[in-house]
Amino acid sequence: MLLIPAIDLKDGRCVRLRQGDMNDETVFSDDPVEVALGWVERGARRLHLVDLNGAVAGKPRNEPVIKAILDAVGPRVPVQLGGGIRDLDTIERYLDDGISYVIIGTAAVKNPGFLHDACGAFPGQIIVGLDAKDGKVATDGWSKLTGHDVLDLAKKFEGYGVEAIVYTDIGRDGMLSGVNIEATVRLAREVSVAVIASGGFTGMQDVERLCEVEAEGVSGAILGRALYEGTIDFEAAQRRADELNGPG
């Protein structure tokens, strides 16, 4: 079970939002590079970056700090990035900068042809992000709830050749209310690609519950507010996951 610290970027700073609300932020650091290095030093095997301004604007907004993070940690651990990625040129630029995996969310739902083209152009490096509430997919930084069923879209996108699916329960994200294990497992059972859980991570009990369902196809989890508010210790969490299921 791979535990992945999240670094959410807004106006060049490391923040966390509650349920994706850009006006409900907590600033955890003015130096995201230092934050990234700290997670690597604590044993993180992958980092998860989100350009929050980019997700709303539909174009990259935090590239300078993303490049600085890659310069600092890129050679040591893979980095996955989402937020504001809407065209192949942006993907190519980020991959050239050293990003290992690009996460496509809103654009995948609104323009499936773009996701299909991206998977063909950059095989093994495209992850789709499905953000959902009550089984329906949300877009545009979670500001719009669509009528698309998350399971239907996941199966469709699997056929395009995505490397993995990041599944976020937006009703729980940033709320420290526990991972929606049931919905995550339900999705993982419907597809053969790896599913990465996101949203609501609270503490060690979530690590243990996720490890119990790893065999269902849940390969990892993204940790955000729980890490920054200290409700879970990253090193202890990854060590526990390794004890239960072996290194992720």
Name the residue with tokens 């859980």.
Answer: 197
Per-residue pLDDT tens for 183-196?
999 999 999 999 99
Q: How far is CA 194 from the centre of its chain?
A: 13
By the 8 A CB rule, do 9 and 16 touch? no
How far is 158 from 194, CA to CA, in rounded Å? 10
Band of pLDDT at residue 246, cut at 50, 70 and 90: confident
Longest Cα–Cα distance in the chain: 42
Helical packing angle, 88-97 and 112-121, nearest 10°: 40
pTM of structure: 0.94
- Beta-bridged to residue 103, according to DSSP, are 82, 127
Per-residue pLDDT tens for 130-158?
988 888 898 876 667 888 999 999 999 99
Per-residue pLDDT tens for 223-237?
998 999 999 999 999
Which residues are known catalytic residues? 8, 131
By the 8 A CB rule, do 190 and 158 touch? no
Q: Which residues lie below 8 Å from residue 38, measured CB to CB, with a gap of 6+? A: none
- Beta-bridged to residue 48, according to DSSP, are 6, 80
